[in-house]
Amino acid sequence: MASVFPFNNIKVGGVQVVGPEDFIYGSGNLTLAGQDAANTTADGLIHNFRSALTPSATAEVKGDKRSLDSGHPGDAQPWPELGKSLSLGLVSARDGEPVEIKTIENAIISVEYDSESNRSSLTISGTEAA
């Protein structure tokens, strides 16, 4: 059993932006959910409906990673920036290749850096491929 499930590697557009050496142990969190609505019919039954899949993930990484923020002024891409395909992977052995855990399409990354702990909190939200 890997001790860093569900992921410890992030690739954006196929390029690794965060690896195990940056991840805070055990901080990864992957949520597979959707955009839902409900209709209650006159027979007392609730009919739940999912209009979109909206996977999201959070993680903490070491150091100031605000440059990973979508639409970061340092990027070549001008504002506003469209979400990109992002891959969450798991590297289960030192210097190993990441195994893909989940791909999130149209992903937006938000980063908040805390100088007291020298950690950045990453929040990733996006959609599933149609």
Partner 1 sequence: MTNTITFTPGTGSAVVVTPIPGSVKAGGGHDDRGGGTVPAARAGYACNGSCQVVVTDATATSIQHTLTELKSLVSGVGEGDRKVEGAGLWANIKSWGALVDVNIEGDSVQTATITWKGSANPTEA
Q: Which of 12, 17, 27, 123 binds partner 1 (CB under 8 A)?
A: 27
Q: Is 2 near partner 1 (CB under 8 A)?
A: yes
Q: Is 26 near partner 1 (CB under 8 A)?
A: yes
Q: Is 96 near partner 1 (CB under 8 A)?
A: no
Give the shortest CB-76-to-partner 1 separation in angstroms: 33
Q: Which of 10, 18, 86, 90 binds partner 1 (CB under 8 A)?
A: 90
Q: Is 105 near partner 1 (CB under 8 A)?
A: no
* Residue among 33 and 66 whose Cβ is closer to partner 1: 33
* Residue among 47 and 94 whose Cβ is closer to partner 1: 47
Nearest to 122 by CA among 10, 2, 33: 10
11 DSSP β-pair partners:
16, 87
Q: 4-39 burial string, b = 16+ CB within 10 Å, else e?
A: beebbbbbbeeeebbebebbbeeebebeeeeeeeee
The radius of gyration computed from the CA coordinates of the chain, to the nearest angstrom, equals 17
Amino acid at 41: T
